[in-house]
Amino acid sequence: MMNNTLNNKINVAAASDQRIWMISDGKSSNLDISSICKGSVSGPVMEYEISELAQYLLNPNPITLEENVIGCKILYMKPRSGRIRGFIKNLFSKNSVSGRDDSYTQEIISTSKSGAPDFNDRWLNLHLLKIKETLKPFDPVHKKLSGLKTDTVENIVALCEDIGKNRHQLNLKGGIQDKINFVTNSLSRKVKVAFNRAYLLNGLFEMRGFDFTAFKGNKMYRLVKLNANRQTKYCVLNENYKLLYWIDDNSLVNYMHLFEQSIKTDMQLREAMNLCMLGVAQPLKLFFSTQREKSYSEKYLPRVYREVLSTCKVAPTDVKSISNILNNFQSIVTFNYVPVSGIEKDKMYTNISVMHDVKALEPIKSRLPDVYSEIDKKASICDAGKLYLLDSLRGYQNV
């Protein structure tokens, strides 16, 4: 359960209900695309309006984020005899991919808490910072790197961690001593890290690179859909119809339609995003998937179906049939965020919108017309399908 402080913030966010949006319905366009697309174009050209947030998510250009350096990984040089043995071992090993022997790698994590103290008393914060600086030489990372023999080291990579406790490696430039200096000077501090783009992989987006507080609802870009060389392609134009970039993965556009439907129908998702727009929460990740980990059953039905079944007479066998089809044609939108202050700042909240395609209900359309009709009224059509909100969940974990 959430405490009263965050509940109050959510109430404020719900009351403000700023209109965040992703993508409009498509419309036929007479746009002359000869200047942006070479080759044969067939069929109609469709045009959509997309928001600043959608443009950020679709953009293939790099983004820069701040990460906490929490430690490092030391890769030691192998003894010459060890290299020969390792070569022979790798030659006959089916499992060897990188050829790296973990026995020559050491990972060290700092015991110091990242970030500066943020008590209301400024002098207390300064005092704690002095204590932290005094204890610095005793940190396991500092102790290890200060006595490290550089001629035995092949490489050093920094280990970073985001606010959600997700870790990744940061490759460093320069010699071994330069890398030692970087880690020791950056430890428990934030450093700028470049990511290839906002879209990471497999339906996962990095949200921290977008400034929600500066979101302008009237700012828009144009997404153009066309058929070129017998393939469906999308490109993004600015408001003056100048080409910004081509989209290399059409599934990203489908995500935008799905996200738009989730925002429209899931009040809890709108509240979470409004918290970010008000600056009282920091967005973390956005993730799209196709199946919830926990399946629905006749004993565990989402609220929308419990309400419908309370007004419709349905046999127990039909309830089981309904619960089975609910686990098909799902589209899951997961959005997580962290409050930026107060006692909630150490909690990562996750909002899950379970969207469901009405076509999953075809098996019961004729047998249970009343149930089908009630659900069909809740659905709306978009390029991602005819969808309705099946379930909305929210929870948190300490980070």
Helix (H) or strand (E) holding 225: strand 220-228
Nearest-angstrom CA–CA distance, 331 and 291:
7
Tokens representing 4 are: 């009263």
Which residues have a Cβ under 8 Å from the Cβ of 262 and sit 6 or more positions away?
Answer: 269, 333, 353, 355, 389
Last residue of a domain, one of 162, 195, 228: 195
Nearest-angstrom CA–CA distance, 95 and 86:
13
Nearest-angstrom CA–CA distance, 363 and 377:
17
Write down the pLDDT at residue 260.
Answer: 97
Helix (H) or strand (E) holding 324: helix 316-325
Are 226 and 364 in the same domain? yes
Handedness of CA 367, 371, 377, 381 (dihedral sign): negative
Write down the pLDDT at residue 119.
Answer: 60
Last residue of a domain, one of 195, 223, 255: 195
Other CB atoms within 10 Å distance of the CB of residue 355 = 24
Backbone angles phi and psi of 191, in degrees to 5: -125, 155
Tokens representing 71 are: 């430690």
Write down the pLDDT at residue 98.
Answer: 44
Number of domains present in the structure of the chain: 2
Are 163 and 274 in the same domain? no
Tell me if 396 sits within 8 A of 267, measured CB to CB.
no
Write down the pLDDT at residue 267.
Answer: 96
Are 157 and 173 in the same domain? yes
What is the tens place of the pLDDT at every residue in 299-354? 899 999 999 999 888 888 999 999 999 999 999 999 999 998 877 777 899 999 99
Write down the pLDDT at residue 239.
Answer: 87
Last residue of a domain, one of 195, 212, 242: 195
Tell me if 87 sits within 8 A of 220, measured CB to CB.
no
Are 182 and 208 in the same domain? no
Write down the pLDDT at residue 30.
Answer: 84
Nearest-angstrom CA–CA distance, 382 and 258:
8
Amino acid identity at 62: P
Are 249 and 360 in the same domain? yes
For 87, 256, 372, 373, 375, the CA distances from 369, given in Å and listed in that order, are 68, 32, 5, 6, 10
| Distance between first and last Cα of the chain | 16
What is the tens place of the pLDDT at every residue in 152-180? 999 999 999 887 778 888 899 999 999 99
Burial of 125 (0-12, 13-18, 19+ CB in 10 A): middle
Nearest-angstrom CA–CA distance, 358 and 382:
12
pLDDT in single tens digits along all 399 residues of the chain: 455 555 555 555 544 545 899 999 999 988 877 777 766 677 788 999 999 999 999 999 999 998 889 999 999 988 766 555 554 455 444 444 344 556 688 999 988 765 555 666 666 656 556 656 655 666 888 889 988 888 899 999 999 988 777 888 889 999 999 999 999 888 877 888 889 999 999 999 999 999 999 999 999 999 999 988 788 999 999 988 899 999 999 999 999 999 999 999 999 999 999 999 999 999 999 999 998 888 899 889 999 999 999 988 888 899 999 999 999 999 999 999 999 887 777 789 999 999 999 999 999 999 999 999 999 999 999 999 999 999 999 998 887
Domain coverage including residue 86: 65-195
Tell me if 188 sits within 8 A of 110, measured CB to CB.
yes
Tokens representing 204 are: 């996962």
Closest CA to 329 of 385, 257, 265, 264: 385
Tell me how far the alpha carbon of residue 398 is from its chain's centroid: 18
Are 57 and 77 in the same domain? no
Are 73 and 136 in the same domain? yes
Are 152 and 48 in the same domain? no
Are 58 and 90 in the same domain? no
Q: What share of the chain is helix, strand, coil (3-state, %, to 5)?
A: 35, 35, 30
Helix (H) or strand (E) holding 207: none
Are 168 and 284 in the same domain? no
- pTM value surpassing 0.75: yes
Write down the pLDDT at residue 164.
Answer: 76
Nearest-angstrom CA–CA distance, 357 and 381:
10
Are 166 and 311 in the same domain? no
Are 283 and 357 in the same domain? yes
